[in-house]
Structure 1
């Protein structure tokens, strides 16, 4: 077994040099599918199996989405490895999703032999320019040209992935370089810069707007997941409701008096005079709500917009009245402290009481309204009742998934995993496998439709082989539900490609060695789900839903 000395150089393969770089950066899990160009790398993984677990898969896309789920639910890098060319291309949906969700995902791949690069000879798995393709889908991508360069390039990958706005990165190494040997100096892991101090003039300007606000609202995104405590403190100081569309849910628990759903946020919106967007693109109010579906390149009169974001480009994409550039936790704390010491920074007790009463009434009214979205709401109520507060819910592009945007209460950060703006059908089940690998002791539930589930159904084999104790609830309506509804209502009932003839999912589960259950009502789901969460093995629960019976959730996602 090859060992890299703690202090000096050692002659190792390129594959081992990459693995040692991963270990130096604290990686303990990798999702991968080996192949010819990656043999030296996977051989190195096998030699380091006591320190880094490799989870196999049956399709490269699943490797990418499992890494995404790992990263999205932990905030730590999710790492996957596949062969170049078609292997990489099979993972690009996952890389797009990671880019859209600001998830730190590292793709490690190979290349054709270095002497063939750029020659167009048609070597195995050759792409015209793989590195250019990867660079169009990631924050940063690079090739490791020499074995000796591996530690520095791997460290740069982690620096790029985790600095500023997080996101996916990729590294590649040519087939022959990965197999060759050279002396490599052991390296410590990447050193990330401390968050920069915020501009106090920007903070003061934001505080002045909030000091004069009568109905402020806070909207959070993925960039605020690590700032839960200080966001809650700011909300309580202001008496401001906190809402999120997808990525920022749970930053303030939705059973907290100030934690609200997106549907409740829309109900309150007409009276809002200042919006504080924290680590959010603010898709919900400025792209989805009536009258806002346009690019905002100049601040509008009302509501006044304050943005806290680490990415300076965001301040140009959607220009605020006041922009505070910086890490969400650091900047929000600065704003909280500034408001706390300003003479008029805190609303009076009567103002706080009035704001909370308005919020409470809006929450009750919203709950009454969304009761009409059946049977999805009844099933979501059961899942929420059975799943512990810290249990993790992984959605899907499906009728139940869309309804969960506003109908499933979220109580903690990183416990609601969504697909982000890419809206990739089929992301949910493989993503949930990665979530469960990251959190083996916490309950994880994947909800999916029959259409999306079949995108990665083969990963039932991975769940069984790796003993991944994920509970998957499959809502079977024998259709791509949204497509079917749209074709019926908007295209004269000319249905094409929207109805599905599915396999017997219980027989399929049995064939994969997975425990399976079929139910047809929320009442029947409750005991089955409770029992499944108590096991340590994968479980598939099929929910039979009559085709076309699900109410449309879209009036609460794109409200009039």
Structure 2
């Protein structure tokens, strides 16, 4: 029998599993693990706030297409990380959170920093509403099977975070190393569910016999790494593709069959195409509220008048918001592989639809023309469309972009072209302000050879400027473009439109983020005229080091033809949306 400390064996396990980075922050409950990590091949990415670590791990997992690992302290460490972990949960990002916990021999005594005044030894229960499972390791010999289950659960089915809460004394106990050796024999490659040929044939026949079918793609296509299979399928039959916010980039924006984003920030043309479709094939989408115009049938989707075929890895999503005619629980990459094979067997020549391609081309041309003036506007502060136009002109097509919330999320979803699936990282379900800036650092660590740009508002960047300490220390060459309207702009626009005030949403004094960057040891550039921004971004890309570009921006709302019924709650029957805030 060979005995070793749990902390040592756990690190050996993670190395064997291929973990290359752990994101986190120290605490007295996890330093037994952290001290052993110093000798490991795994790189520890040290942060100044646990929310940063969770968002970095989220961005890393999206780009690396692997489960990320977060290390947290108990109590305030775990609650600080909770927002980032919940964001990952709602966007189905695989993550294993390893958190220190109170010593097991102090259960019931409420020791230092324990959370939950009204329940003993229950900190792991805080995460239960949003993680796929929360474990507490009550015996050291159970650590091997719990950590193996944690990774398997995070990665399979609908992916998502899990929590392994480890009483600090468990890290320092010895167990037989054979217990960890045993779990290594378990497969780490699990066959994912697919569909049978008969069901594939039924789906294909319904699409072929439809007069105006539409494919509606969500973020699940990207999570399944099925964008290429989707492209092959929709091009075989010339079926146009609309997408959710999280499905942005799943089909290239230069494809002649890409409609664009639906819902509140979708255009009238796109929403009408989905609303009047006779059949929709929905792939990996939950039909979220903003994407579906609050599920009101006059705006974006008119289901069940439109027949719905829905394929998703999560059975809970099938029929959650709209009734389906055909529902299939399957991995999208597997399902689309079968659909493509059967489609070519049944219809080897496929179908063509030049009419819909022409409609898309004409709409795209008209939208571009309607936006041309603001994209070239020399006003200062800059128009948001001008900022996006200059970014589009400068960055390479294979760049990764993270957004936060507000103009940089909604405007990018509506107007900014994305050519590579998975190259845009957006906080979807939780819409977390503060996601974009740290997520970009995780993305850059995962893809060091790609340019990584974070489009973020001053409100979002201001959530956690301590990201800059990590960027400087680790030399993570991300470019943060702060679209700075000195406000929580989207909310200010709502409040102004409906209540004629901007109380609590506009800042009288806005920090100089370029100066703050320099104080952290990061390059900071303050833009003082519209024509300064584009060369500043070009310079930042050439520098290949962390750079903050603070860009004053006019606080105009994202134009929208869609609907969100919060407007009706604020101003019943008035059809009021957002207002510009000067």
Instruction: Measure, in 1, the Cα distance between the counterparts of 2:335 and 2:529.
Output: 47
Shift of 1:281: 1.3
Instruction: Measure, in 2, the Cα distance between the counterparts of 1:476 and 1:434.
Output: 23
Alignment of 1:78-477 (within 5 A): 78-117=68-107, 119-127=108-116, 128=119, 129-185=122-178, 186=181, 187-188=183-184, 191-225=188-222, 226-262=225-261, 263=266, 265-283=270-288, 287-288=292-293, 291-292=296-297, 300-318=303-321, 319-342=323-346, 346-347=350-351, 349=352, 352-370=353-371, 375-477=383-485
The counterpart of 2:23, out of the listed 22, 28, 31, is 31
Judged with a 3 Å threshold, the aligned counterparts in structure 2 of structure 1 residues 266 and 235 are, in CA distance, closer, same or farther, namely same
Instruction: Measure, in 1, the Cα distance between the counterparts of 2:325 and 2:339.
Output: 15
Instruction: Measure, in 2, the Cα distance between the counterparts of 1:253 and 1:555.
Output: 23
Q: How large is the Cα RMSD of the aligned pairs?
A: 2.5
Judged with a 3 Å threshold, the aligned counterparts in structure 2 of structure 1 residues 292 and 81 are, in CA distance, closer, same or farther, namely farther
Deviations 1:117-150 (A, max 9, x none): 2x15344334342222222220112122333322
| Structure 1 match to 2:379 | none
Asked whether the equivalents of residues 136 and 164 of structure 2 are also in contact (C-alpha less than 8 Å), the reply is yes
Asked whether the equivalents of residues 410 and 558 of structure 2 are also in contact (C-alpha less than 8 Å), the reply is no
Shift of 1:89: 0.6
Shift of 1:294: 11
1:65 equivalent to 2:55? Answer: yes
Q: Name structure 1 gaps, 5 residues minimum.
A: 1-8
| Structure 2 match to 1:513 | 521
What SS does the corresponding residue of 2:30 show, helix, strand or coil? Answer: helix
Judged with a 3 Å threshold, the aligned counterparts in structure 2 of structure 1 residues 507 and 73 are, in CA distance, closer, same or farther, namely same
What SS does the corresponding residue of 2:318 show, helix, strand or coil? Answer: helix
| Structure 1 match to 2:33 | 41
Instruction: Measure, in 2, the Cα distance between the counterparts of 1:77 and 1:382.
Output: 34
The counterpart of 2:3, out of the listed 11, 23, 27, is 11
Asked whether the equivalents of residues 19 and 45 of structure 1 are also in contact (C-alpha less than 8 Å), the reply is yes
Asked whether the equivalents of residues 68 and 98 of structure 1 are also in contact (C-alpha less than 8 Å), the reply is yes
Asked whether the equivalents of residues 21 and 45 of structure 2 are also in contact (C-alpha less than 8 Å), the reply is yes
Greater shift after overlay, 467-476 or 368-377?
368-377
Shift of 1:93: 0.8
Asked whether the equivalents of residues 10 and 184 of structure 1 are also in contact (C-alpha less than 8 Å), the reply is yes
Instruction: Measure, in 2, the Cα distance between the counterparts of 1:462 and 1:293.
Output: 48
Shift of 1:346: 3.3
Aligned residues: 542
Asked whether the equivalents of residues 114 and 123 of structure 2 are also in contact (C-alpha less than 8 Å), the reply is no
| Structure 1 match to 2:558 | 552
| Structure 2 match to 1:5 | none
Asked whether the equivalents of residues 275 and 297 of structure 2 are also in contact (C-alpha less than 8 Å), the reply is no
Asked whether the equivalents of residues 193 and 329 of structure 2 are also in contact (C-alpha less than 8 Å), the reply is no
Judged with a 3 Å threshold, the aligned counterparts in structure 2 of structure 1 residues 328 and 370 are, in CA distance, closer, same or farther, namely farther
Asked whether the equivalents of residues 161 and 168 of structure 1 are also in contact (C-alpha less than 8 Å), the reply is yes
Shift of 1:83: 0.2
Instruction: Measure, in 1, the Cα distance between the counterparts of 2:24 and 2:113.
Output: 19
Asked whether the equivalents of residues 14 and 179 of structure 1 are also in contact (C-alpha less than 8 Å), the reply is yes
Judged with a 3 Å threshold, the aligned counterparts in structure 2 of structure 1 residues 57 and 404 are, in CA distance, closer, same or farther, namely same
Shift of 1:177: 1.1
Instruction: Measure, in 1, the Cα distance between the counterparts of 2:21 and 2:298.
Output: 41
Shift of 1:203: 2.2
Judged with a 3 Å threshold, the aligned counterparts in structure 2 of structure 1 residues 43 and 292 are, in CA distance, closer, same or farther, namely farther
Shift of 1:284: 6.7
Instruction: Measure, in 2, the Cα distance between the counterparts of 1:205 and 1:440.
Output: 44
Judged with a 3 Å threshold, the aligned counterparts in structure 2 of structure 1 residues 494 and 231 are, in CA distance, closer, same or farther, namely closer
| Structure 2 match to 1:527 | 535
Instruction: Measure, in 2, the Cα distance between the counterparts of 1:292 and 1:116.
Output: 56
Instruction: Measure, in 2, the Cα distance between the counterparts of 1:500 and 1:445.
Output: 28
Instruction: Measure, in 2, the Cα distance between the counterparts of 1:203 and 1:470.
Output: 44
Asked whether the equivalents of residues 211 and 345 of structure 1 are also in contact (C-alpha less than 8 Å), the reply is no
